[in-house]
Amino acid sequence: MAKLIIVFMLPFVAILAAKLTVQPIHMCEYQGHKFPIGSEYRPTDCTTCRCESSGRPSCLIADCFFVPCVDSVHIPGQCCNHCPTGNNCYALNGKIIKAGSEIKIDDNTFCTCPAPWVRPNNATCRKTLKKKKQ
């Protein structure tokens, strides 16, 4: 800790004008929490901060891409959702089908989930016509 003492000298008299204390910065404060200079911390799963020598935090916020599935889940401690069953989409009947697969909805309707997966998250469906019996 540096101390600064200013003294004015008058003939035969010394007057102490000020005594200032200069405190070096050792901490950053972020959302009510204190962190030492040089430390890294994660206030959220998607935010990583570093306490800079200036006493200010420098933070990076991750931005997640869309997930290529309709049943994505969030795992605590991870930023972005993931697809536990792989890439998939919804068929007309609401059933989840794997990307690249085709399912039969009824005698006339087949749905395919495209691979590679693209938005929107619905399968492409086609109807076939029944031949008339003669």
Question: Is 28 part of any domain?
Answer: no
Q: Which of 22, 24, 49 is nearest to 38 (CA)?
A: 49
Give the pLDDT confidence score for residue 80 in this predicted structure: 94
Question: Is 41 part of any domain?
Answer: no
Residue 45 has pLDDT above 60, yes or no: yes
Give the pLDDT confidence score for residue 49 in this predicted structure: 93
Tokens of 32: 């009510």
Give the pLDDT confidence score for residue 133 in this predicted structure: 61
Give the pLDDT confidence score for residue 65 in this predicted structure: 85
Taking residues 7-25, what's their average pLDDT?
A: 43
Question: Is 95 part of any domain?
Answer: yes
Question: Is 29 part of any domain?
Answer: no
- The count of structural domains within the chain is 1
pLDDT digits (tens, 9 = 90+) for 68-127: 899 999 999 999 999 999 999 988 888 899 998 999 988 889 998 887 666 667 888 888
Q: What is the domain range of residue 107?
A: 88-127
- Of the CA atoms within 13 Å of residue 39, those in its CB half-sphere come to 14
CB 123, CB 91: distance < 8 Å: yes
Question: Is 37 part of any domain?
Answer: no
Question: Is 118 part of any domain?
Answer: yes
Burial 51-76 (b: 16+ CB within 10 A, else e): beeeeebeeeeeeeeebbbbeeeeee
Question: Is 82 part of any domain?
Answer: no
CB 28, CB 35: distance < 8 Å: yes
Residue 88: strand pairing partners:
98
Question: Is 114 part of any domain?
Answer: yes
Q: What is the DSSP letter of 119?
A: S
